Chain A
């Protein structure tokens, strides 16, 4: 079994400050971390690998060991994030880095990552599952995972909190997906791409063997040329139609929320009281055609 996990190195947003004048993020001196959702993804992948190894051991004399490959696109210093992922227990790491990737928006990022994953597949065998985080804590778009799935033309399972079962014979996977008011239980075929929401897992502390291996393992580094793709203008700034028009810090809401004590008990009457209260506080709204409940 082969699992690929996409991780992104992000500034630790709990330690970030916004420049009071330019409104830009002051990244200088802010420590970087692995995007927290990607850690849920990594741990889920490591658990699937380990579970797979146990099952194989039970049935086969020469069990094949599952492998987890971590990949990131970013500047050379993103290697730190990969090294850390190896310390947690990932088996190999690929850094996709090139000046020509700079300025990528989500379209270009997902294109580059899809190319890299295709190449990882050629080198180390096609992945059964690709994990990403639900979203990053810096870009926050939640577009990269689906972008990769679309390009690789595989199933996408978003906002997953748990992969409950993998059936290797039927090549299917069962997952639990977060919904606003509940949980969806889904079965899908493999290969597929899973974007992890706040998982039920916490990232493990790698063993001493893992950290020794991580400290010595060399990280594969691929540039544009290594990906063997013709459409180089789909990378980086050139391949990024997103334009940042303005950056601003939203002003915090001036008004505090209020809690109303209502005299009535039934839903309809409570609503009437609420509407009356709003109308009295927002005269503009009072002119709008709001009818009384039941009318």
Chain B
């Protein structure tokens, strides 16, 4: 009996892996997918917002049966000090469109659904199976993977590494470095269960409408970080993510920060009476463009979080993961159909297709933001939020002092905290990084 061989092995059944496996399987390739969790999604911890456009490009009619929680009609950005928040809210009836643009999802269910689509398309998925090593031939080309189950390595023409942010397999095999602590955030998250109608009342929602709050300020104690609250159907996902390097320097524990966020007077009433059922922690790649490792080699490509393809500024990750997986799948199908081998040169098709997509273009645009966040975290995440809160309070509180005095006090406070020169240079740095 000759040895079984696959066209492609996909390591990981998260967003990127499922996108890659589905793309290849539905085009007739013989695909094997390995997932270390008990089932797809069992290890995944996204917030989570699903960006419909990218999924639509892969599974056009996903709205028919995907487990979607709510479509988002409102986005709130809150700047917080210890007792207040000032915010910018954007809510639009336009988002009540039939094919909504953003949905909240619960990854455990969503990943199961997505993996089901891979199976329907003819892919084979093995769960509770961890890829432990890449199998290589005499010249070092990747020809398959070893797993933690007894037996010989499984062979394939190409291995798609979709193993998520830790990417232990790739780092162990020397394909890329272990992510640096200033390039990853640690997010801790809780699921708070509340009856559907309570969520609707508290957030002013009807039907399947949903709302997102993202918050920064003193909740992260000067570390670069972001708090978030997403409404699901009958639960609220709530968490806070902070740069690991910042946590290490400040010795703040993520759990304490999350507790502080939950107890903040602006957040607490939103959660009153809820039952917490899950607590989870996960890394998020934040290094941006400059942290992207080599994306392809002899017999392998890397996609999604493992390739650090994450837009921290816009809190987009899953869509970059899906699109990179899809593009890798398409590139592999093209090479296969041309009857060419999966060499590093040929697989550069994936890189060039990715460069043209929104994935790389967005990451290039924001390439300087990550450095800005981690070097200026104290002023961005503590000083300015406090100043903004003070100014806002001065503006609304009526206490007999004149308006001229109040405005002067606000400006003085900014200058005192950051100096004239500091303010100008902060503005320039932010503008430059953003450009």
- Selected contact of A215 from candidates B4, B125, B151, CB within 8 Å: B125
Whether B125 pairs with A206 at a CB distance below 8 angstroms is no
Does chain A have a CB within 8 A of B292?
no
Question: Whole-angstrom distance between the alpha carbons of A212 and B129 in the complex?
Answer: 11
Whether B154 pairs with A208 at a CB distance below 8 angstroms is yes
Does chain B have a CB within 8 A of A211?
yes
Does chain B have a CB within 8 A of A205?
yes
Whether B126 pairs with A207 at a CB distance below 8 angstroms is no
Does chain A have a CB within 8 A of B149?
yes
Does chain B have a CB within 8 A of A216?
yes
Does chain B have a CB within 8 A of A209?
yes
Chain B residues with CB below 8 A from A87, complex form: 128
Cβ of A23 to closest chain B Cβ, rounded Å? 19
- The interface bits of chain A over 27-39 (1 if a CB of B lies within 8 angstroms of the residue's CB, else 0) are 0000000000000
Does chain A have a CB within 8 A of B150?
yes
In this complex, which of A208, A209, A212 has the most chain B Cβ atoms within 10 angstroms of its Cβ? A208
Does chain A have a CB within 8 A of B181?
no
Interface size of B in residues (CB-CB distance below 8 Å) = 13
Does chain A have a CB within 8 A of B348?
no
Question: Whole-angstrom distance between the alpha carbons of A209 and B3 in the complex?
Answer: 11
Chain A residues with CB below 8 A from B124, complex form: 212, 215-216
Chain A residues with CB below 8 A from B150, complex form: 205, 207-208
Chain B residues with CB below 8 A from A206, complex form: 149
Question: Whole-angstrom distance between the alpha carbons of A209 and B154 in the complex?
Answer: 10
Question: Whole-angstrom distance between the alpha carbons of A212 and B32 in the complex?
Answer: 9
Residue of A nearest to B147 (CB): A208
Cβ of B30 to closest chain A Cβ, rounded Å? 11
Residue of B nearest to A29 (CB): B277
- The interface bits of chain A over 208-227 (1 if a CB of B lies within 8 angstroms of the residue's CB, else 0) are 11111001100000000000
Cβ of B181 to closest chain A Cβ, rounded Å? 34
Residue of A nearest to B152 (CB): A208
Question: Whole-angstrom distance between the alpha carbons of A207 and B150 in the complex?
Answer: 5
Question: Whole-angstrom distance between the alpha carbons of A208 and B154 in the complex?
Answer: 8
Which residues of A173-216 are within 8 A (CB) of B?
A: 205-212, 215-216
Chain A residues with CB below 8 A from B151, complex form: 207-209
Which residues of A203-259 are within 8 A (CB) of B?
A: 205-212, 215-216
Question: Whole-angstrom distance between the alpha carbons of A87 and B150 in the complex?
Answer: 12
Cβ of B343 to closest chain A Cβ, rounded Å? 27
Residue of B nearest to A215 (CB): B124
Residue of A nearest to B146 (CB): A208
- Selected contact of A207 from candidates B4, B125, B128, B149, CB within 8 Å: B149
In this complex, which of A205, A206, A210, A211 has the most chain B Cβ atoms within 10 angstroms of its Cβ? A211
Cβ of A207 to closest chain B Cβ, rounded Å? 4
Question: Whole-angstrom distance between the alpha carbons of A177 and B383 in the complex?
Answer: 72
Question: Whole-angstrom distance between the alpha carbons of A206 and B126 in the complex?
Answer: 11
Question: Whole-angstrom distance between the alpha carbons of A212 and B3 in the complex?
Answer: 13
Chain B residues with CB below 8 A from A207, complex form: 149-151
Question: Whole-angstrom distance between the alpha carbons of A87 and B152 in the complex?
Answer: 16
Chain A residues with CB below 8 A from B128, complex form: 87, 211
Cβ of B261 to closest chain A Cβ, rounded Å? 26
Chain A residues with CB below 8 A from B154, complex form: 208, 212
- The interface bits of chain B over 125-156 (1 if a CB of A lies within 8 angstroms of the residue's CB, else 0) are 11011000000000000000001011110100
9 closest Cβ contacts across the A-B interface?
Answer: A208-B151, A207-B150, A208-B149, A207-B151, A211-B126, A215-B124, A209-B151, A208-B147, A207-B149
Known: A211-B128, A212-B124. 19 other contacts (CB 8 A): A205-B149, A206-B149, A207-B150, A207-B151, A208-B126, A208-B129, A208-B147, A208-B149, A208-B150, A208-B151, A208-B152, A208-B154, A210-B149, A211-B126, A211-B129, A212-B4, A212-B32, A215-B124, A215-B125
Q: List 30 A-B contacts (CB under 8 A).
A: A87-B128, A205-B149, A205-B150, A206-B149, A207-B149, A207-B150, A207-B151, A208-B126, A208-B129, A208-B147, A208-B149, A208-B150, A208-B151, A208-B152, A208-B154, A209-B151, A210-B149, A211-B126, A211-B128, A211-B129, A211-B149, A212-B4, A212-B32, A212-B124, A212-B126, A212-B154, A215-B124, A215-B125, A215-B126, A216-B124
